[in-house]
Structure 1
């Protein structure tokens, strides 16, 4: 049986790494088109643009907020006029996915610069495409991973701790989903079976979260770069990215995708909804009580959602949960990588049970 493991071309992480962006990008071309999110555009340009301008011809455009087909088309027109040799994405997950999709459309190298550690999107050959309104639309599978991923942990430490916490929510799913794919002999994002390396990295991701997660939240809240924060930034970004892409996805991310059909969830971060997907998946797949307890406890300690109310669904109806479950169980969704057959009715039951368990713990 053939296995495939997917990696970015180069991964750079550390406090002050943003100052090296021009040097790193110049290895791929002499001109670049930078897609940056509004925060980067308004607050961080002075920290990297003057140095980049010394080494590259730079064109820059602000990202409008959704990784949608319409936004990608808008940016492609502007980038084509700029005649860039490299695409650079700087900011949060959706702006980075947009840059990856744009580079693919233009057939250019891409450098990815996350300013927060809130998802495992930066390293992957994948862009999640949403509608203009923010509902999940499809996965765009790309032919290659980013040529460069550069993470300045000093910038990450200056962001609200909620971003790092959300990244841990995304990373929390990695080991459980990879393990399900391994048991099912399900394909990873390449379609092939995951490698021993992928599963080992996914397990290391989980162990890192359990050991250093609380310390990292404290450090980030203090805007301090510590060894614990560096480890969690790497777990959220690199380990989770390699683990999900080369290990595979299963129920947690499918349930996340289902949750996006409800507008009440749109103001919550990807990783926050994935955390609910993970907790639901533990009940759905009949994990041992000790595992369920451990993961719920971890979520509580670091500040991840444990109830539907925590992601804007305090008054959710059974009919709405049925919509979530049907979307999660759609043909081709990754929930079918679980080693057990899954139905929409099972997902509704697991969502309600996970929510009830989370509410009971809050009252205790």
Structure 2
């Protein structure tokens, strides 16, 4: 048995980016910083100053906009040309996943600096890969868990609140998906622990989610915001870290991946689409409408999407629905469901979830 539960080290505090050089110097004196354009423009000045003060020479590069093999391979060549001793990844999930794949290929230490709390990408050993057009293609194990994660709560509290809301949506899925996927696995100590953690995450988000969002809207770092940030970035990642494929993802993420074939949803964040995927999964599992409506009520309070229209999909033809259903069942996440799922079942689940979401508006 081998397991990587999460990053080697995790530090969450105000203005920690101003001390990154002190933490980074143990990895070497030459860094390559790779990240999103917004992230780099937000943190570059303070980060570069701290690195320089600690004798670290650095270069900066945009990750390319998609977590695709095209960009990963380009960056691998850049690393080989520049010759850094370690990598720093800055930004959201796609930027972090891209650099995690680069770090794996080049066998370099990695510091992750998530500038939003929208996914658990900073704390996992997998990378979500898309094609150059933003359509999901695979979950890659050719990826490295960061050696250090630095979470600057000042930066995250100043990011658009919608990212935090999306992060709550993505993290809610840990409970619903692990509850389903663990049914077909051996209930080992690791799997049982992972499911318990996932359930606790669900309860934490119900309890502190609204307060954390309000804190972020006011740009205040509160205990509720700290708890939700840790839940989204670190604790969420530990569920798949402990449980592995038995507790990673299921129908909610498969439905998310299937929906990415439609350009209309490309302006909707990962966690927002996953949140709708949860509703669809609950329908797929035959859960009571009352349970689904209760979750929809929470979604409405924190502004997560409850309908296809909320994600920009106004109408779908029969051909598009069939294409979506066929894609969704082929996603490896769907194989984690404790029963066989057909395209028709997925289509009907999404239609019914959309109907329930519309009724509850």
- Could you say whether these structures have the same fold, taking a TM-score greater than 0.5 normalized by the shorter chain as the test? yes
Aligned counterpart, 1:30:
29
Q: Quick check: 2:126–2:142 contact (8 Å CA) kept in 1?
A: yes
Length-normalised TM-score, structure 2: 0.94
Question: Which segment drifts farther, 14-23 or 350-359?
Answer: 14-23
Distance 1:13 1:319, change over 3 A: same
After superposition, give the CA deviation of every residue in 1:36-57 in whole Å (9 maximum; x if it has no partner): 2101222321122101122212
Displacement of 1:355: 0.3
Q: Name the CA shift for 1:143/1:273 in 2 (closer, same or farther; >3 Å).
A: closer
1:67-123, Cα deviation, whole Å (9 max, x unpaired)? 111111222222222111111100111111111011111111111110000112111
Number of residue pairs matched by the alignment: 356
**Distance (whole Å) between structure 1 residues aligned to residue 190 and residue 104 of structure 2:** 24
1:19 aligns with 2:11: no
Whole-Å Cα distance in 2 between the matches of residues 39 and 4 of structure 1? Answer: 34
Is the Cα contact below 8 Å between 2:35 and 2:63 reproduced in 1?
yes
Find the aligned partners of 1:37 and 1:286 in 2 and give their Cα distance: 40
Partner of 2:207: 211
Q: Is the 8 A contact 1:178 1:249 kept in 2?
A: yes
- Matching of residues 310-329 of structure 1 within 5 Å: 310-329=310-329
Aligned to 1:276: 276
Q: Kindly provide the CA deviation profile for residues 241-297 of structure 1, in whole angstroms up to 9, marking residues without a partner as x.
A: 112443221111111111111111111111111111111001111123332122111
1:341–1:286 distance in 2 versus 1, CA, 3 Å = same
Indicate conservation of the 8 Å contact 1:5/1:194, yes or no.
no
- Paired residues for 1:178-189 under 5 Å: 178-185=178-185
2:98 counterpart residue number: 98
Match of 1:236 in 2: 232
Q: Aligned partners of 1:310 and 1:233: how far apart in 2? A: 25
Report 1:96-175 matches (<5 A).
Answer: 96-142=96-142, 144-175=144-175
Partner residue in 2 for 1:361? 360
State the 1:59 CA deviation.
1.5
Between the aligned partners of 2:351 and 2:288, the Cα distance in structure 1 is: 18
CA spacing shift, 1:80–1:160, aligned 2, 3 Å: same
Q: Is the 8 A contact 2:171 2:231 kept in 1?
A: yes
1:225 matched residue in structure 2: 221
CA distance in 2, matches of 1:5, 1:64: 28
Alignment partner, residue 51 of structure 2: 52
Whether the 8 Å contact between 2:258 and 2:325 is mirrored in structure 1 is: yes
Cα shift at 1:327: 1.1
Output the CA distance in 1 between the equivalents of 2:335 and 2:87: 35
Aligned equivalents of 1:99, 1:77: Cα separation in 2:
13
| 1:262 and 2:297 aligned | no
Q: Which structure is higher in helix share? A: 2
| Matches of 2:189 and 2:133, distance apart in 1 | 34
Task: Describe the superposition over 1:188-232 as per-residue Cα deviations: whole angstroms up to 9, x where unpaired.
Answer: xxxx99433322221121111110111111111111111111111
User: Residue 207 of structure 2: SS of its match in structure 1?
Assistant: helix
Deviations 1:14-51 (A, max 9, x none): 22221232222222222211102101222321122101
Distance 1:250 1:319, change over 3 A: same
Give 1:5 shift. 5.7
Q: Which runs of 5+ in 2 are unaligned?
A: none
Q: Would you say the 8 A contact 2:40–2:90 is kept in 1?
A: no
RMSD of aligned Cα (Å): 1.8
Unaligned 5+ segments in structure 1 are none
- TM-score, normalization: structure 1? 0.93
5 and 77 in structure 1: CA distance in 2 versus 1, 3 angstrom threshold: closer
Call closer, same or farther: CA 1:186–1:142 in 2, change over 3 Å: farther
Contact 1:93–1:118 (Cα < 8 Å) also in 2: yes
